[in-house]
Chain A
Amino acid sequence: MHFSSEHITIFLLSIAMMLLFAKVFGELFTLIKQPAIIGEIIAGIILGPTIFGTIFPDSYNYIFNHSEQVNIALNGFITLSVVLLLLISGLEVDLAVVLSHGKKAIYTSFFSLIIPFSLGFLISYYFPNLFGIVESNSNLIFPLFMGAALSISALPVIAKVLMDLKIFKSEVGFIIISSAMLNDLAAWLIFSLLLGSISNSSGSVSFSTTITLTLIFIGFSLTIGKKIFNSIIPFLQDNISYPGGILNFILILGLFSSAFTEFIGIHSIFGAFIIGIAIGDSVHLKEQTREIVHQFVSNIFGPIFAVSIGLKINFIASFNLQTILIILFLGYLVKIFGAGIGSYFSGLKKNESLAIGFGMSARGEMGIILSILALEVGIINEEVFVALVIMALVTSITSAPFMKFFLKEKDKLKLDNLLKEKFIFFSTATTKEEVIFELASVAAKEMNLDKDFVFSQIMEREEILPTGIANFLALPHAKIEIKEPFIALAITKNGIDFEANDNNLSRIIILLLTPSNQNEIQLELLSKIAKTFENIEFSKKLITAKTQTEILKMIRKS
């Protein structure tokens, strides 16, 4: 089959068009604070048979459906894109994180996998007609696929949401990320075996051989292979051209592994994903290297893949509202229920569990990759595919606002959530003891404690080391037997000597009381307060405030 100059021209033109539209729409969606992937998929729908193909069928066919040769080349490029996307996803999967976060991560991972998978499997097994499937109940392929599709999560979308909500490094953030990592590993494993079983039904390698070889591949990659990569990576990073050398090494390994898993009868993506995990586990792989690999793949191959989704199908012709609503409902229900119940049982609060449930409901790119592969091998029809894509898009868009809603008012580590008008007062105290006693009295009244006891606890800490910070701020604090942190603020008319670092007398006295067994919360709040007052101009303005409302407003704005 000859690949002529015209074929090359059309192939390059189609790639350029895909990248151009992906970039423009991706950026537009970023501007309106939505995941770029959604804009890229919409770009594909516009370029594909749904819009461009309907309005200008000849032009569409000339560019995106030109000839068998160009289609093969395009499909090859898209396959490479999917393989690389799975490779970089694997790079970030850190299974040790699940182990190091103990019960909470393990419970959440387990339930957010098992409940969506079981419900997805059972519903589609007993009620296939809900999805327009009319085959007999004995076919397990579709139910198994639905189980995997509902279990998977969109780590890139989730990570971005956590970053935007500034909870990436919080307990909730860790639990979501680590659980999603484990979910993805299990879902890809199930799905790859499923694809393996389909391709093997007519292939030369028996299914049992495929399973055995797959287990050997996983075992080798995650033990000996991982150790070998860990030894090679520092050598490559130090001795050959950087970042080209290490980038090549990762891609070469990814492509070899993909070829191997495709050869043994499971999909190539699985090889890329597993080898990604093995390479990513290396303690020597520089953060900078990971970032370069991610940038390389996600700026070129990610958008191409995203646009290709819309090129495959006419979304209007395959739009079935009933299937969409059912899949959308299931998409939310199973994850919110599964992840929510897991995190609730592990000891998290109701609002945090719901936030985790909604956070993990985002399916994004990963859900779509899974669906497109299922469509290609005939596990699902076009209507189910469209419904799954819409579910992936809607869950990705909504995960951030829902998480924000459930975490917003409840964040007990936010200064403006803790500090209330009734805990702010103006004082004429002239000594440290006087102002601390006034603050202790406010705290004791609010928490039904003995004010002398609270005062003695604060003074005990104060005597070890004075709590003057700088910029007129003093931060007397203590750990006592309370359930939630408490903050009160006094603006003193006279400066009081708390031995601050800048030798200024303190006029903004903030009392912080935290639960006795929670060091981290105390440190978190102390550092947040100190950061709020790091600018002396802010302190000066606060001192001149006339009312409690004014003070609170200024702190909220800071």
Chain B
Amino acid sequence: MFTKIGLAVSFSPTGKALLCEAKRLSDLTNADLLLIHNGNKTTETEIRLDDMINSVGIEKSKIIIDWVSGEIADSIIKSAEKNNVDLLLAGALEKENLIKKYFGSVARKLMRQAKCSVLILISPSENPQKFNKIYVSTDFSSDGERTIKLAHSFALLQNAKEFVLLREFNAPGLAYTLQDSTTIADVEELRNQWLLDEEIKMNFFIKELNLPILEPKIVCLFGKEGWEASNYAKTNKADLFVVHQPNQKITFFDKLFPHEVDYSFINIPTNLFIIR
């Protein structure tokens, strides 16, 4: 599934926990580990890193360490690309403060700009647990199709208990129709009809994907695209929310008026798996 997992390693309070999580994933997928350290390579840091690796119990033969310098997020992205990493692991706070929201943080930059899939853990643990409830944001594009297939394989690999496909849709401006002789009951009926249509489409979509063993549950949601699914995953205590990486580069206006996956990037609902 993955051949090389990258982790930006640091000596922060969550550094060891992230390494433990990386080890679990590496064992699960039989992938090699690339540890990326931004900072000078000194004897002291080498010893500290070695100690940390030993304490986690990772086989040295499965590890490569890349010492990088420069702007943190950029150097991690470059290192991951250079070393053919196909999954990058990082920790992140659930919410950004206002300044970071508009000017960016390391984790948010990785989420958007990494050239590989990114797994963001909001509370990594030194005693990592498998993901039992995996929720996937669904769209019908080929990227969306690939995201679901990969998420499904990932769910099967760790024997997840719940695999939920969330389909959101919206009709901005629907309430305008109420200004012109439409009743609330008409709008409600229309919305229910749309929900039914989406459910039928989802059933066909799943059939087409032919996902064996772990049958997905379908949930269709009406509301702001991106936020509804993210909120549903959070409310239902999913332990992994899967989305596919947006193709467009984020602009200031996207930050000002978040849409689609931006909501999950700004307020991370749970552990977030961004598939590229």
Contact = CB atoms under 8 A, between A and B. Distances in A.
Contacts of A178: 172
A84 to B, nearest CB: 11
Given A155-B176, A156-B176, A287-B223, A531 B184 contact: no
A223 B256 contact: yes
Given A160-B181, A281-B257, A523-B140, A530 B200 contact: yes
A510 B197 CA distance: 20
* Shortest 7 CB-CB contacts between residues of A and residues of B: A159-B176, A96-B259, A156-B179, A298-B179, A527-B200, A96-B257, A30-B181
Interface size grouping (class) on chain B: 35 or more
B180 A464 contact: no
Contacts of B263: 283
Given A517-B142, A519-B145, A160 B177 contact: yes
A287 B253 contact: no
Given A99-B257, A227-B98, A287-B223, A159 B140 contact: no
Nearest to A38: B180
Given A35-B180, A100-B260, A519-B142, A181 B173 contact: yes
Given A96-B259, A181-B173, A302 B204 contact: no
Nearest to B250: A99
A195 interface: no
B173 A160 contact: no
Interface in B76-119: 98
26 contacts: A36-B180, A37-B180, A92-B172, A94-B173, A95-B257, A155-B176, A156-B176, A156-B180, A159-B173, A159-B174, A160-B180, A163-B177, A181-B172, A181-B173, A227-B98, A283-B223, A283-B224, A287-B175, A287-B223, A291-B178, A292-B184, A298-B180, A519-B140, A519-B144, A520-B140, A527-B200
Given A157-B180, A290-B175, A526-B201, 9 more contacts: A37-B180, A89-B176, A92-B172, A95-B253, A291-B175, A295-B178, A465-B207, A519-B144, A530-B204
Contacts of A519: 140-142, 144-145, 205
Interface in A145-201: 155-160, 163, 168-169, 173-174, 177-178, 181
Contacts of B182: 160, 163
Contacts of B225: 100
Interface of A: 26-27, 30, 35-37, 88-89, 91-92, 94-97, 99-100, 102, 155-160, 163, 168-169, 173-174, 177-178, 181, 222-224, 227, 281, 283, 287, 290-292, 294-295, 297-298, 302, 365, 464-465, 517, 519-520, 522-524, 526-527, 530-531
B100 to A, nearest CB: 14
Contacts of B145: 519
B231 A283 contact: yes
Contacts of A530: 200, 204
A287 B187 CA distance: 10
Nearest to B231: A283
A510 B131 CA distance: 41
Contacts of B175: 88, 91-92, 287, 290-291, 294
A30 B179 CA distance: 12
Nearest to B183: A295
A168 B179 contact: no
Nearest to A33: B181
Nearest to B202: A523
A531 B200 contact: yes
Given A159-B174, A519-B145, A169 B140 contact: no
Interface of B: 98, 140-142, 144-145, 169-182, 184, 187, 190-191, 194, 197, 200-201, 204-205, 207-208, 210, 222-225, 227, 231, 248, 253-254, 256-260, 263
Contact of B178 (A157, A224, A294): A294
B195 to A, nearest CB: 11
Output the residue of B177, B191, B205, B224 with the most chain A CB within 10 A. Answer: B177
A156 B176 CA distance: 5
B197 A160 contact: no
> Interface centre among A27, A35, A102, A156, by most B CB within 10 Å?
A156
B173 A177 contact: yes
Contacts of A520: 140-141
A163 B190 CA distance: 9
A445 B200 CA distance: 31
Nearest to A168: B171
Contacts of B191: 287
Contact of A291 (B142, B184, B197, B253): B184
Contacts of B98: 224, 227
A99 B259 contact: yes
A526 B171 contact: no
B103 to A, nearest CB: 13
B178 A36 contact: no
Contact of B177 (A99, A156, A223): A156
Contact of A96 (B178, B208, B258): B258
A181 B175 CA distance: 13
Contacts of B253: 95, 99
B179 A97 contact: no
Given A26-B181, A283-B231, A298-B178, A155 B173 contact: yes
Contacts of A283: 223-224, 227, 231, 263
Contact of A294 (B141, B179, B256): B179
Contacts of B205: 519, 523
A523 B201 contact: yes
Contacts of B141: 519-520
A35 B178 CA distance: 11
Contacts of A526: 201, 204
Contacts of B222: 287
Contacts of B231: 283
B197 to A, nearest CB: 6
Given A99-B257, A519-B140, A159 B201 contact: no
A194 B129 CA distance: 62
Contact of A169 (B194, B210, B224, B259): B194
Which of B176, B224, B258 gathers most chain A CB within 10 Å? Answer: B176
Nearest to B262: A96
A159 B142 CA distance: 31
Contacts of B144: 519
A426 to B, nearest CB: 27
A196 to B, nearest CB: 24
Contacts of A181: 172-173
A394 B144 CA distance: 44
Most buried by B among A97, A99, A517: A99
A25 to B, nearest CB: 12
A295 B258 CA distance: 28
Contacts of A92: 172-173, 175-176
